[in-house]
Amino acid sequence: MLQKLAIHNYAIIDHLVLEPDTHLNTVTGETGAGKSIILGALSLILGDRADTSVLINKDEKCVIEAYFDVRDNSDFRKALLAAELDDEMQCIIRREINASGKSRAFINDTPVTLNTLNELTSLLVDLQQQFGHLALQEDNFQMDVVDAVAQNGSLRKEYYNLYSSYKKLTQELSSLKQQQAQFQKEADYKKFLYDELELAAFKEHEIEEAEQQLKQMAHAERILNTLQTARMALEEGEQPLLNELKRIGQQMQGIADVMPDINTLQERMASSLAELKDIAGELEGLENKVNLDPALMQQLQERIDTGYKLLKKHALQNTVDLIALQVQLADELKASFDLEDKIHALAQKTETVFADVIAKAEKLSAARKKAIPQIVKRVNELLALVGMPNAQIQIAQKKTEQPAATGTDEVHFLLDANKSGQFLPIHKAASGGEMSRIMLCIKSLTAQAMQLPTLIFDEVDTGISGEAAKQVGILLQQLGAHHQVICITHQPQVAAKGNRHFYVFKEAQKGRIITQVRILQPEERILAIARMIGGEQPGDAAMQHAKELVAT
């Protein structure tokens, strides 16, 4: 809801502040007084391009500020957060234009682009100017109208939640199928690699140990000769070292009684003898391990060759890496099989949810089909009342092949403006003034059910008078009971229905003409309406008629 509009240095407006009522506001004034200029300033707030010609005083910048109460506007507040802007109960939108023509836009003091400004303010203000009724060209708005009359709010929300779940499931299913397709492309090759590693059946560190064993076998004779020479020196040969050490030990023991200090050395000698005996035994054991079997050497060489081939193929370093790769391939192949089961389960779930979506869409469609004749009948009645007796609308309901966010229907509003028998999309068949009245009729029909932004009608009553103008006023009044409405009008029947009446006028200040606006008090209002009826000097009849209009 618009709380305040402040305009500074724009066209013939020096400084002006407009604080509209929460319901119906009517704006009147003589032609050229500046009513359209106020709308032009507001258009800048809504994201229109700026022009330096609007600056009165080239030494000062033009500043336009609009204050909105957005506490109940959940759509706008969500859009603010999506745009990473501050979410506050009051939103302040400002446009600044300097003398060079540079324009800046701000939302809650944060600079924004004109595109962002336009997108966000469309959720705050619906400016109904001639040839500017874009809503009637939007399928979503037309669907919203039908659902509002059909009281489909809860049903449509239930459907949308189901549809969102369905879309999420289909996206997940599509992703899994893409993953499966990629797996299938690689599955045969991965299976080949896995089978190759499984056939090789390497044990941990096997390649490295085989390499070491083969190296030993290649030097078996030298190793055996060295081991035998060492062992024979210790315990065989002409003078075995072990026998000599044993004899020396015995001699040392023989003098222990006369030289006690020898005992320590004798003990060390005995320990060394025991250690050398142990070494001799281990040397013999190593001799027995030395293998000269050519068949075993061939077998080891083949294992090593197989291992090196696989290591090189996979750019790995050792047997542990090969075994890890085999485990990884096994896991990936298993995941491919598991994925197939997961896809099957998800496909079944998707089908179930899709059936629920279709069932709920059918309920929506049936409710819309039932509501459409009511809408057509009522809008056509209203069109006759607002000065379009020859106009007839139709609403075409068409099934779609696939469900969408609003169901399985397409809804199109069509118009035959002159009983020609040819129905066309409304925006193609109606003139600017007719579009305004059609939009008024439609929105008044859905006023209680639809959440609408601030509605601004620019001369919706153009080309009508009398009873038609009165009915336009009644519709605006009914619309204003549920929404904030601002209507610029030249018709007394419309002006009299406002909860707040603004009067736009020109006056001379400091040698130039500027636009001013003021809220009319009850007596001033009656006089202004009487002047709209009877001219600048209204008679008693005009005054009486004005009082009657205000009173009804």
pLDDT in tens, 252-264: 888 888 888 888 8
So what's the pLDDT on residue 167? 95
Cβ atoms of 491 and 533 within 8 Å: the answer is no
How does pLDDT run across 119-138, given as a tens digit for each residue?
999 899 988 654 344 455 56
So what's the pLDDT on residue 130? 44
- Domain ranges for the chain, please list them: 1-124+498-519, 206-317
So what's the pLDDT on residue 220? 67
pLDDT tens string, the chain, 552 residues long: the values are 999 999 998 888 889 999 999 999 999 998 878 888 898 899 999 988 887 777 777 788 899 999 999 998 988 999 999 999 999 999 999 999 988 778 899 999 999 999 999 999 989 998 865 434 445 556 688 998 999 999 998 999 999 999 999 999 999 999 988 888 877 777 778 888 888 888 888 899 988 888 887 787 767 677 777 777 777 778 776 778 888 788 888 888 888 888 888 888 888 888 888 888 888 788 777 777 776 677 877 888 888 888 989 889 989 999 999 989 889 888 877 777 778 888 999 999 999 999 999 999 999 999 999 999 999 999 999 999 998 999 999 999 999 999 999 999 999 999 998 888 899 988 888 877 788 888 888 888 887 777 778 999 887 888 888 899 999 999 999 999 999 999 999 999 999 999 999 999 998 887 788 899 999 999 999 999 999 999 889 999 999 999 999 988
The phi, psi pair for 61, rounded to 5°, reads -85, 155
Supply 453's token pair: 């932004």
DSSP 98-157: -TT--EEEEETTEEE-HHHHHHHHTTTEEEE-TT--GGGG-HHHHHHHHHHHHT-HHHHH
Give the strand order in the sheet containing 424-425: 392-404, 407-416, 424-425
Tell how far CA 212 is from the center of its chain.
Answer: 62
Which residues have CB under 8 Å from 499's CB, separation 6+? 21, 22, 23, 24, 25, 480
Q: What is the widest separation between alpha-carbon atoms in the chain?
A: 161
Supply 482's token pair: 């549920």
Cβ atoms of 241 and 234 within 8 Å: the answer is yes
So what's the pLDDT on residue 67? 96
CATH of domain 1-124+498-519: 3.40.50.300
CB atoms within 10 A of CB 179: 15
